[in-house]
Chains A and B, each alone.
Chain A
């Protein structure tokens, strides 16, 4: 029990630690969305995937006693929902956005339906990785208790960067996203490549849900997600379809979430509704400043959202 106050440092620590804690779900869903969009498809259903992931992780962790199996179940549940999305958007004449919203409704419906019995019980949580052992301050120790899924997400960000840049499969994904016709001419199957990209992306989104229910805030409730899945789509544009930039963008969003509460904790409370909207306004401003009608954004997949 600590009695020493850290005043304004609390705001700084709060925002930095909040960036990591609150940014992890953003990181995982935006990486998932990045992979999906690089292949030329959009998945707005990641919000439903996130909820399915959070519910399955919590339920399985509670039933088996192992949060790791729970996290695995989240990835699996996300992948299955991703398959359903792929089944829709890989058919002709089906719009990505519409399919995404249908998946959002269905995924949240299934998650809420089967999640009812797991709202009350407490499930075993993922163990935090302690990086703050050097400090005697409780605040620092708590701030530096890192989610294993954050470490995983950082690793995936750099791996995905390498995957797109240097591997043959990464090149296939990019080729399909830029021009399915050209890819087909090269002997790459757009359908198969996109299928795997969507499913793997959704599995990552499911893990983002596992972080919510098994690490921070660490509970299963129907309002556990506050739109992180929908925001993934904006984050990826913010990050210019670049996995390592997804990392920085997610940290920024996570930190922005923590600004309001941290300021109120030191007694500054004006306009918290507007503070709550700050991440969205920030994204919009950055997009306005950096976009242009003259050129497409660097990194933007040429065939994004179009039907093959």
Chain B
């Protein structure tokens, strides 16, 4: 037991010395990914964000990839704090939050825990925990507009991993965008059931194309297979996570991309300025869309016509000046039930959008597994 106490003391010593050392010159950040950091998708987007913030001379960053949502991530967080002297942690997978981040955050009140995509509950969660996410549905909405213009069959396809709020929000935004350009367009959804199942994703793309779908998009960990399958079958495709125009040079319309280096740089500057979550000087909930530069749209592909560009640019301009609302009444779900009456609207910041469980009219699919 004595030995153990000594270790804890030295561990604390490490934190304090690291904190006092780095506070003077360097901000030390730790990034944790659930999959390989070069997956051409979700994890890579975060890793590029890390690379972006690392360019600042006063930032030191460590990364660890392929960390499962088990005790392994608790171990990684502890190691980054105790051995690497990290002051700010970014565990980027949604499943890291409960119970893993909550548990470790209680043990290390001096360290900031910033979680991607989760919800911070005042009073219930530790004070040193915060959450950030991007309104990528804004960029997906713009993709939808371009897709609505491009489709000839009026059938769009969306390949999704699971019927969870983050995914449903993108499907709905895509459908609303498409139907704003082409009111008779429908979006057929296929849920593959998992985040990274390339064979099933290719199979889903093929089935959708066989059903006459002529524009595809997706929300899975890595869209590469879907982009390439669409290109081979000669249909249009919108990207996700990262710019995929190289994978589908002919059929790429546009796409929704993350810009995490902007988010991470903002945080680094706040920490450098001595701000913290527990003092309330770093907000617990950070969200941003096109306007804040958290997300962006890919450049248009070669086939996008001027009418589509005009509508898309108009929508982007409205997002930039904050006047665009994606989810506004009258809005029905795809079983005909009213979600929002005419005149009511849910602004992007509305937190109820982050527990979405419905699919809007025009989407063919079900949220039941």
Given A264-B207, A265-B204, CB of A1 within 8 Å of CB of B228: no
Chain B residues in 8 Å Cβ range of A10: 207, 210-211
| Residues of B with C-beta under 8 A to A142 | 206, 209-210, 233
| Contact between chains at A1 and B234 (CB < 8 Å) | yes
Within 8 A of B (CB), among A1-57: 1-7, 10-11, 13-14, 17-18, 21-22
Question: CB of B197 within 8 A of chain A?
Answer: yes
The interface of chain B, by Cβ under 8 A from chain A, is 35-36, 38-40, 152-153, 155, 188-193, 196-204, 206-212, 214, 222, 224-225, 228-229, 232-235, 246-247, 364-366, 368-369
From B190, B191, B206, B233, residue with most partner A Cβ within 10 Å: B206
Output the nearest chain B residue to A6 by Cβ-Cβ distance.
B210
B207 to A, closest residue via Cβ: A265
CA separation between A4 and B369, bound complex, in Å? 29
What's the minimum C-beta distance from B225 to chain A, rounded to whole angstroms? 4
- Chain A residue nearest to B155 in the complex (CB): A5
Q: CB-CB contacts of A246-276 with B at 8 A, as 1s and 0s? A: 0000000000011011101111011111001
Which residue of B200, B228, B235, B365 is within 8 Å of A261 (Cβ)?
Answer: B200
Question: In the complex the two chains form, is A221's CB within 8 Å of B203's CB?
Answer: no
Find the residue from A219, A265, A272 having the highest chain B CB count within 10 A: A265
Task: Point out the residues of chain B lying under 8 angstroms from A119, CB to CB.
Answer: 36, 38-40
What residues of chain B lie closer than 8 Å to A266, measured between beta carbons?
A: 211
**CB atoms of B233 and A138 under 8 A apart:** yes
Asked whether B153 lies within 8 Å of A5 as measured between CB atoms, the reply is: yes
Chain B residues lying within 8 Å of A138, measured Cβ to Cβ, are 209, 233-234
A258 → chain B closest CB, angstroms: 5
Q: Does A290 count as interface, using CB distance less than 8 angstroms?
A: no
**Residue-by-residue, is A190-233 near B (CB-CB < 8 Å gives 1, otherwise 0)?**
00000000000000000000001000111101111010000000
Q: How far is the CB of A4 from chain B (nearest CB, A)?
A: 6
Q: A151 to B214: give the CA distance in the assembly, Å.
A: 30
A221 touches B39 (CB 8 A): yes
Is A116 on the interface with B (CB-CB < 8 A)? yes
Q: In the complex, which of the residues A1, A260, A270 contacts B214, with contact meaning CB atoms closer than 8 Å?
A: A1
Q: A278 at the A/B interface (Cβ < 8 Å)?
A: no
- Does A296 sit at the interface, judged by CB under 8 A? no
What's the least CB distance linking B152 to chain A, in Å? 5
- Asked if A265 meets B36 with Cβ closer than 8 Å, knowing A14-B207, A221-B224, the reply is no
Does A130 lie at the interface of the complex (its beta carbon under 8 Å from any beta carbon of B)?
no
Q: Which residue of A lies closest to B222 (CB)?
A: A221
* A122 at the B interface (CB under 8 A): yes
Q: How far is the CB of B45 from chain A (nearest CB, A)?
A: 13
Question: A118's closest neighbor in chain B, by CB?
Answer: B38
Given contacts A22-B203, A122-B228, A226-B199, contact A3 B211 (CB under 8 A): no
Chain A residues positioned under 8 Å from B246 (CB to CB): 122
On whether the beta carbons of A218 and B210 are closer than 8 Å, the reply is no
Q: Is there an interface contact between A4 and B200, defined as CB atoms closer than 8 Å?
A: no
Q: Are B201 and A217 in contact (CB under 8 A)?
A: yes
Residue contact A265 to B201, C-beta cutoff 8 Å: no
Q: Once bound together, how far apart are the Cα atoms of A41 and B188, in whole Å? A: 47
Q: Does A238 contact B (CB under 8 A)?
A: no
Closest 6 CB pairs of A and B: A217-B202, A5-B212, A265-B207, A3-B153, A223-B196, A261-B204
The chain A residue with its CB closest to the CB of B200 is: A261
Are B212's CB and A273's CB within 8 A?
no
Contact of A120 with B by CB under 8 A: yes
Interface residues of chain A, those whose CB is within 8 Å of chain B, are: 1-7, 10-11, 13-14, 17-18, 21-22, 112, 116, 119-120, 122, 138-139, 142-143, 212, 216-219, 221-224, 226, 257-258, 260-262, 264-267, 269-273, 276
Q: Are B203 and A18 in contact (CB under 8 A)?
A: yes
Please name 14 further chain A to chain B contacts, defined as beta carbons within 8 Å, in addition to the given A217-B229, A264-B189, sorted by A numbering: A10-B211, A120-B40, A122-B247, A142-B206, A212-B198, A221-B39, A221-B225, A260-B200, A261-B206, A262-B203, A265-B208, A265-B210, A269-B366, A272-B369
Known: A212-B199, A218-B228, A223-B197. A261 touches B190 (CB 8 A): yes
Q: In the complex, which residue of chain A has the Cβ closest to the Cβ of B213?
A: A265
Which residues of chain A are within 8 angstroms of B200 by Cβ–Cβ distance? 226, 257, 260-261, 276
* B212 and A4 form a contact (CB under 8 A): yes
Contacts of B40 in A (CB 8 A): 119-120, 221
The residues of A that contact B36 with a CB separation of less than 8 Å are 112, 116, 119, 222
User: How far in angstroms is the closest Cβ of chain A from B358?
Assistant: 15
Contact pick for A265, options B38, B188, B193, CB 8 Å: B188
> CA–CA, A4 to B228, complex, Å?
22
Q: Which chain B residues lie closer than 8 Å to A6 at the CB level?
A: 210-212
A116 to B344, CA, bound (A): 49
| CB atoms of A265 and B369 under 8 A apart | no
Cβ contacts under 8 Å, B210 to chain A: 6, 10, 13-14, 139, 142-143, 265
CA distance A21 to B233 in the complex (A): 15
Q: Given A1-B235, A218-B228, A222-B36, does the pair A273, B198 have CB atoms closer than 8 Å? A: no
| B196 and A221 within 8 A (CB) | yes
Which single residue of chain B is at the shortest CB-CB distance from A216? B202
Q: How far is the CA of A130 from the CA of B120 in the complex (A)?
A: 55
CB of A172 to closest CB in B, whole Å: 37
Report how far A254 CA is from B198 CA in the complex, Å: 14
Bound-state Cα–Cα, A138 to B209, Å: 9
Contacts of B228 in A (CB 8 A): 122, 217-219
Say how far B357's CB is from chain A's closest CB, in angstroms. Answer: 15
B189, B207, B214, B232: residue with the most chain A Cβ atoms closer than 10 Å:
B207
Q: By CB atoms of chain A within 10 A, which of B153, B212, B369 has the most?
A: B212
Q: Which residue of B lies closest to A138 (CB)?
A: B233
Q: Is the CB of B202 within 8 A of A258?
A: no
User: CB within 8 A of A264: which of B39, B152, B232, B365?
Assistant: B365
Instruction: Give the chain A neighbours of B198 by CB distance below 8 A.
Output: 212, 217, 219, 221, 223-224, 226
A-B contact pairs, 21 of them (CB 8 A): A3-B152, A3-B153, A4-B212, A14-B207, A17-B206, A122-B246, A138-B233, A138-B234, A217-B199, A217-B201, A217-B225, A219-B224, A221-B222, A221-B224, A258-B207, A264-B207, A265-B188, A265-B190, A265-B210, A269-B191, A270-B366
